[in-house]
Chain A
Amino acid sequence: MLRIECPWCGIRNEDEFSYGGDASVQRPSDDASEDEWYDYVYTRNNPAGDHTEHWQHVNGCRAWITVVRNTVTHQISSTAPASPHLPIGLKSVNKSKGAK
């Protein structure tokens, strides 16, 4: 059982949340190429290590949040309100560990 800290509600059980996938992917602009749109939907890293991902506090305040979770240990190193631009530092964490 994961215990996730909602930035608004505090630490809650995993079953109050629903998983929303990789938060490090950036939604392309309307005029982006077909490949970019394909990658946005289908291409994902599978890092053994920190992974930046979206969760929704669906049975709570309904906020979407960005969680940095270690896929090996399940340790959650940060949670923050979701935004289109990742908090500084998070993105680089994902990229550096993602290659493993």
Chain B
Amino acid sequence: MAQDFRTSEGGLIDRSRPINFEFDGKSYQGYEGDTLASALLANGVHLMGRSFKYHRPRGILTAGSEEPNAIVELRTGARKEPNTRATTIELFDGLVAKSQNRWPSLSFDVMAINNLFSPLLSAGFYYKTFMWPVSFWTNVYEHVIRRAAGLGTASTEADPDHYEQCHEHCDVLVVGAGPAGLTAAVAAAERGARVIIADEHVQLGGSLNSEKLTVSGKPGADWAAEQTQKLVAMDNVHILNRTTVFGYYDHNVLAAIEKVSDHVAIPAAGKPRQRMWTLYPKQVVIASGATERPLIFGNNDKPGVMLASAARTYANQFGVKPGSRAIVATNNNDAYRTAIDLHNTGVRVVAVVDSRMNPDAPLAAELETLSIELITGKTVGAAEGGQHVRYAQLVSTQGITEEPQRIDCDLIAVSSGWNPNVHLHSQSGAKPVYDDEVFSFIPGQSRQVEVSVGAAKGSFGLQDCLNQGLAAGNEAAKLTGFKGRAKKAPKAGDDGIYSIEALWIAPTPYNKTYKQFVDQQHDTKASDVNLAAQEGYDSVELLKRYTTQGMGTDQGKTSNVNTLAILAGQRGDPIPDVGITTFRPPYVPVAMGVFAGHTVGYDFMPVRRTAIHDWNEKQGAVFIEAGLWLRARYYPQSAGESMYDCYVRETNNTRNNVAMVDVTTLGKIDIQGPDASEFLNRLYTNNWLKLPIGKARYGVMLREDGMVFDDGTTSRLGENHYFMTTTTANAAPVLSHMEYYHQTVWPELDVAFCSVTEQWTGIAVAGPNSRKLLEKVIDIDISNEAFPFMAVGECKMNNIPARLFRISFSGELAYELNVPADYGEQAWIELMEAGKEMGVTPYGTEPLGTMRIEKGHVAGSELDGRTTALDLGLEGMSNRDKHFIGKHNSQRPALLSDGRLQVVGLKSLEPGRNLRIGAHLVDDKVKLDSVSQSQGHVSATTYSPSLGYGIALGLLKDGASRHGEQIDAVFPLDNEKLRVEVCHPVFIDPKGELVRA
């Protein structure tokens, strides 16, 4: 297909390499080196989308990442990406893009009727219009707003691509590779500093690639290519092209996104789509350039209105004529270059319209030689046309009332001056300051080790950029320890002088009402700014939120300064008094995927497996996640065996015979030292000084606020040697807790400890036949007399070194065997072998939980951080004659008074029905309509195979004194209600005779 608006030569595109792409279902061709925007313009396509609120036709305003309008859906299916800027998408073969926010088609959009109802959609309209009745919010308003206003839609399929995260340290980070950045990077690198230079484009050079400027007597782009070669040749330089530094954080940490594979249809094998860089430079040179401001006039959003710099970028860099008949409207010298460059590209430039009375004489003379008319003291008051500009109405800027002057044109190139890109400077914590000469904000005092140079500092002259870049590069190298001889900056070709007179908003023709857009992406008009100010939202922070100006995906790059200048005008205050909102990361939209990086799906968290995991897997165990651990939940013996059948069978075999469970995941901490006993004595509520060697004891730890923190058994292995166990969930927090007290509160205690969770495999052998089983493999006497309840001993299991603990979580006669983890699987298999003849079975966490409820052991669901030892029936253990953590605060009056939730047992009174976890406990006096009438809740529930009915543990108001009472367990979400009896939490063997048998 013909590229009617492409020049036959010139630019940085490769005409020998055509690229086919598709936009809104139509096929087009561009060239390598194009962006999607430049390729569409080459084909005469200007209409790119419909606006956010009014569905007005929109075209291409800019040629860079500041683009508010030309945002499209890129790619299809799982790789579809909404709201991508056509101006930054590198063209690739097979590219498919779609315009957004229009129905049924881009040129005929039904919702454009919003444009007629615009008085209803003014600033803050959603606070005013969509208020009442409340019931309309979810059913009507939300749908209306979602459908009418909005941008692209995300893919509902999973992203098939990979994202990567990298970290890099360097001496000097240079952000931006325009003339200033390139000079700085070369200077610092030549002195030996490790340099990273990042730029969002493929080719380094910045404005040198899009302007007709010369450096050292060469075309700017050639000079930039030379400098790039220099950098490539140096080992101490890392060039990050296609990389946008989007965040400047505390402690001089910056983040950047590298678009590794966005310029191809599908990433090459092994390549990520994007890469996130966390950068740790010692010095930062910000050479991020500047962004041009559009002029504010009537219908200034019409396709055909384009930033002056963008128009000449399309002409110079891409060999594209952005229009056929152009006018250039400006308030500064810079835009004259657009008229000249467009003229040289073959665009008919009808006039330069300069709002100033006294334009720059050399520029005026240059226009004259090119026969371009110069109109002064006027500006564009309004653009007219349907879906594209057809003519401009010129009005006086000098207050003269006159007939508007009509000029037919299809391109209005506009410039209201330049804003230095102070975003990173502001993000670093510094405050930009208003400068009267450039009529914009420039960097203020640095707060971190950064310096802005060139256009980013408000110095727009090319020689200034080169000089400042060189100086900053040298200085940054020096500050990081690299000195060298001073060199002269390269010589820039003459690019004139930048001078400007402010023009913040144009008068309208005949003073008629026009839509004058400040923020084109969010459809915020100058009148919205004025209305917000009238309604009292006259600070920048409030205005931004009320009008949503600057809150689009472009973050108001082209609209912020214009908006606050208009606000200042409305308030009658100088611009510095109005101030500017703080810039926040990210500078450009960054996909969530790159923040997630590797950590998605299976890689979201590491997986911890016990030594017995492979055996469990072979048995067909069903696993459950416990923190990072995978634990066997139950072991189906046949395909059809349900979880219920399994846990009943596994529980019964434990209670009646013998069964084994993998308890490796319990936290294990080895504690040694002369003060180990004293340390434990302070950690636990009960007494540890008199625990005999070879004995275990159950202990409860409190937090400093008096709530129960954790529980477990700790064994004394020697005079100065203990072995602590914690719950699975609290293994890490308990260790940190101990380290805190040991290092900060009681450093005088001579004790050392470390986690040995991974070093030992834990196997519990439980059931009336457990001793019989173990006697076959253990080399010490484990008769009840020699090895009573709570005994601990070293032994050998077959030939494996082991520790044996006679402790029980199930409530049966039981032992826990610990073997070094490397022997874990072997020990387990040998135990299974030894127990085969008596019918030993494995059991998982499901029967483990069942048996702990039957036995009334509290666990994580009762130790919820809000329960005291008293609430849990564990207060009797506390030894108040000694000091321990939480002792004082656990005795605060409110914690001792009536009305506390206390642990109770609950029995289902309806055969065949079990309690539901989370169900509320209510007595007969209350109705079901309010949770505030809840007297507690069910914390853990099971069917009890031993008792034959549903039981639970719960936390019930004053529960300890309510045993025998009948109440309801209700589950209002499902309208369920179950009659239950409150009882003692220990359902089985309350005297503990079984464990001592």
Contact = CB atoms under 8 A, between A and B. Distances in A.
B892 interface: yes
Given A37-B889, A41-B889, A1 B253 contact: yes
Contacts of A3: 251-253, 280
B250 A83 contact: no
Interface string A76-100: 1000011110000000000000000
B794 interface: no
B278 interface: yes
Nearest to A33: B888
30 contacts: A1-B249, A1-B251, A1-B253, A3-B251, A3-B252, A3-B253, A18-B736, A23-B744, A27-B745, A28-B888, A30-B887, A32-B888, A34-B888, A34-B892, A37-B889, A38-B889, A40-B704, A41-B705, A54-B744, A56-B739, A56-B740, A62-B736, A63-B743, A64-B743, A64-B744, A73-B447, A76-B251, A83-B744, A84-B744, A84-B747
Contacts of B740: 20, 54, 56, 64
A37 B705 CA distance: 9
Interface string A14-49: 000010100100011010101001101110000000
A84 B892 contact: no
A82 B251 contact: no
Contacts of A74: 250-251
A10 to B, nearest CB: 12
Interface in B795-842: none
A9 interface: no
A48 B740 CA distance: 26
B913 to A, nearest CB: 43
B124 interface: no
A2 B251 contact: yes
B359 interface: no
Interface string B881-906: 00100011100100000000000000
A4 B249 CA distance: 14
Nearest to A34: B888
A2 B250 CA distance: 6
Contacts of B704: 40-41
Nearest to A27: B745
A64 B739 contact: yes
B429 interface: yes
Nearest to B748: A84
Nearest to B706: A41
Closest 4 CB pairs between A and B? A37-B888, A3-B251, A30-B883, A1-B253
Interface string B705-749: 100000000000000000000000000000010011001111100
B165 to A, nearest CB: 12
A62 B447 contact: no
Contacts of B888: 28, 32, 34, 37
A56 B745 contact: no
Contacts of B251: 1-3, 74, 76
A49 to B, nearest CB: 15
Given A18-B736, A37-B888, A41-B705, A82 B883 contact: no
A42 B706 CA distance: 12
Q: How large is the interface on B (under 10, 10 to 19, 20 to 34, 35 or more residues)?
A: 20 to 34
B interface, over-half SS:
mixed
Contacts of B892: 34, 38
B278 A1 contact: yes
A84 B745 contact: yes
- Of B250, B429, B887, chain A has the most CB atoms within 10 Å of the CB of B250
Contacts of B253: 1, 3
A81 B447 CA distance: 28
A2 to B, nearest CB: 6
A29 B774 CA distance: 48
Contacts of B280: 3
A84 B278 CA distance: 36
A28 B740 CA distance: 16
Interface residues of A, number: 29
In this complex, which of B251, B704, B736 has the most chain A Cβ atoms within 10 angstroms of its Cβ? Answer: B251
Contacts of A82: 743-744
Interface in B335-349: none
A37 B887 CA distance: 10
A8 B745 CA distance: 20
Given A1-B250, A83-B743, 18 more contacts: A1-B251, A1-B253, A2-B251, A3-B252, A28-B888, A32-B888, A37-B889, A54-B740, A56-B736, A56-B739, A58-B736, A64-B739, A64-B740, A74-B250, A76-B251, A82-B743, A83-B747, A84-B745
Nearest to A26: B745
A47 B551 CA distance: 32
A38 B704 CA distance: 10
A62 to B, nearest CB: 6
Contacts of B887: 30
Interface string B45-57: 0000000000000
Interface string B239-267: 00000000001111100000000000000
A81 B743 CA distance: 9
A23 B740 CA distance: 11
Contacts of A56: 736, 739-740
A18 B447 CA distance: 26
Contacts of A41: 704-705, 889
B663 to A, nearest CB: 25
Contact of B739 (A1, A40, A62, A83): A62
Interface string B138-153: 0000000000000000
Contacts of A81: 743
A58 B705 CA distance: 23
Contacts of B744: 23, 54, 64, 82-84
Contacts of A38: 889, 892
A73 B429 contact: yes
Nearest to B167: A13
Contacts of B736: 18, 56, 58, 62
A4 to B, nearest CB: 9
Contacts of B252: 3
Nearest to A23: B744
Nearest to B742: A64
B359 to A, nearest CB: 46
Nearest to A30: B883
Nearest to A29: B883
A28 B887 CA distance: 12
Contacts of B889: 37-38, 41
B816 to A, nearest CB: 27
B331 to A, nearest CB: 39
Interface string B855-891: 0000000000000000000000000000100011100
Contacts of A34: 888, 892
Contacts of B739: 56, 62, 64
Nearest to B705: A41
Contacts of B705: 41-42
Contacts of A54: 740, 744
Contacts of A58: 736
A81 to B, nearest CB: 8
Interface string A53-71: 0101010001110000000
